[in-house]
Structure 1
Amino acid sequence: MGESLLSGMEEPVVRFENVGMRYGLGPEVLSDISFTIAPHSFQFLTGPSGAGKTTLLRLILLSAKPSRGLVSVFGEEVSGISSHALTGLRRRMGVVFQDFRLLDHLTTYENVALPLRVQGRAETSYRAEVVELLRWVGLGERMHVLPPLLSGGEKQRAAIARALIARPELLLADEPTGNVDPQLGRRLLRLFIELNRLGTSVLIATHDFALMDLVDARRLILGDRHLRIEE
């Protein structure tokens, strides 16, 4: 779903060519991975536990470097670019990690607003937007609470809201519905779909086949260190 009619004419958001990844001197955890993510596209990343989904997401996020092969993000081949340029590329992404990565000294509202503050926007220009999104994910009554006082599901929703608030060009989500009930999971999926309709490319890593069956989307399936694609 969601691939633009113009996507064949546009630079892929992500391109992997024969990528291999190993940690230290150990065996490869990913081997000969080749795929592209088109602008405005929506896809799932799935596979058994330990197949390398989180490693693949880290490579896309540029927080890990491949052992071999080519990784290109937003048209930039990343092997030799500067740390400043890497930071610029990462700011074009929204990311939801399994460990949430909320800042404990900031309220829920402040955590979600942080990407907009980093952009230099005045609070008066985004406050209503942040409040609306927090209400939509069910945190309207928790926006002034610090993360240590949130439940796991509430932290998950705050992390998702933070990833979405700046309308990134690429959204990477690692098990984004893993700590919420199925009804809320479907609601969050609708939020990802709406973001995709607004132009964001979306890649969701998940084990939840029932969730994937709700969307006609491409599936990237990792297994035995290799990747296969179901359109």
Structure 2
Amino acid sequence: MVRFENVGLRYGMGQEVLRDLTFRIEPQSFQFLTGPSGAGKTSLLKLLFLSLRPTRGLISIFGRDTSTLDGDGLSALRRRIGIVFQDFRLLDHMTTYENVSLPLRIMGRDENTYRAEVVELLQWVGLGHRMWALPPVLSGGEKQRAAIARAVIARPHLLLADEPTGNVDPSLGKRLLHLFQELNRSGTSIVIATHDIALMDQFDARRLVLHGGRLHLYD
């Protein structure tokens, strides 16, 4: 599903923040991405989401060499990827329900075909009573859960999550990880960036460890 070959990334004229990354993400796989603060986890997620291009090397996603794609081609691939950003990126003028259902609207689905699905997911993540609230009145944890619900509602082929449990209590964090596991069992490949070792220890998953700009793999 994803292949990196000798990938390097630098910002401007500075030193490479990621270098010589060579790894694969297989279909229906589950992995944690971890490492110390500043190791480059968010930068790697941006490369996976195709919002950054590498300075060098090859990135292939869904069998396509991303260096050969134009803007429309990159957008088409991104529609198969779900992502949870640390800053949530909810649209303030839309309700929680509208934010979560947005990927389905973009796909062209009629609301009658997905309304019950969105409501059920919002109830499952504890936002059933907040579905008509606007993001500015939500707490940090509620925004986090809304962003996660939006990322998973369309059942993407690849899900990327940057510290998805950082603003919720441990019990809810574990529950959200189980949601990702269920999505994984239905066929989605998962990459979760986190520094929470205790949480990772509760799940049997591959670990991608960034240190000094290089990636180490632990199955």
TM-fit CA distance, 1:210: 1.0
2:38 equivalent in structure 1: 50
CA distance in 2 between partners of 1:62 and 1:24 (Å):
18
Report deviation, 1:203: 0.3
CA distance in 2, matches of 1:74, 1:60: 11
Q: 1:118 aligns with which of 106, 110, 120?
A: 106
What is the CA distance between 1:80 and its match in structure 2?
A: 2.1
Of 115, 126, 136, 1:127 maps to 115
Of 20, 32, 36, 2:24 maps to 36
2-side partners of 1:211 and 1:169: how far apart? Answer: 24
Question: Cα distance, 1:81 vs. partner?
Answer: 0.7
Distance apart, 1:128 and its partner CA = 0.3
> Cα deviations across residues 161-219 of structure 1 (Å, max 9, x unaligned)?
00000000000000000000000000000000000000000000000111111111100
User: Could you list the runs of 4 or more consecutive aligned residues of structure 1 that deviate by over 6 angstroms after TM superposition?
Assistant: none
Match of 2:152 in 1: 164
1:191 paired with 2:179, answer yes
1:146 — aligned with what? 134
Q: Distance in 1 between matches of 2:61 and 2:48?
A: 7
Equivalent of 2:212, from 224, 227, 231?
Answer: 224
2:214 is the counterpart of 1:208: no
Q: Which of 81, 84, 100 does residue 88 from structure 2 map onto?
A: 100
**Residue 31 of structure 1: SS of its match in structure 2?**
strand
The 3-state SS of whatever aligns with 1:155 is: helix
SS in 2 for 1:178: coil
Structure-1-length-normalised TM-score: 0.94
Query: What is the CA distance between 1:225 and its match in structure 2?
Result: 0.8
1:66 is matched with 54
SS at match of 1:219: strand
RMSD over equivalenced CA pairs, Å: 0.4
Residue 109 in structure 1 maps to residue 97 in structure 2: yes
Structure 2: which 5+ residue stretches go unaligned?
Answer: none
- Please give the secondary structure, in 1, of the residue aligned with 2:76: helix
CA distance in 2, matches of 1:111, 1:47: 31
Matched, 1:136 2:124: yes
Q: Structure 1: 5+ residue runs without aligned partners? A: 1-12
Distance in 1 between residues matched to 2:182 and 2:62, nearest whole Å: 22
Q: Identity over aligned residues, as a percent?
A: 70
The SS at the match of 1:141 is helix
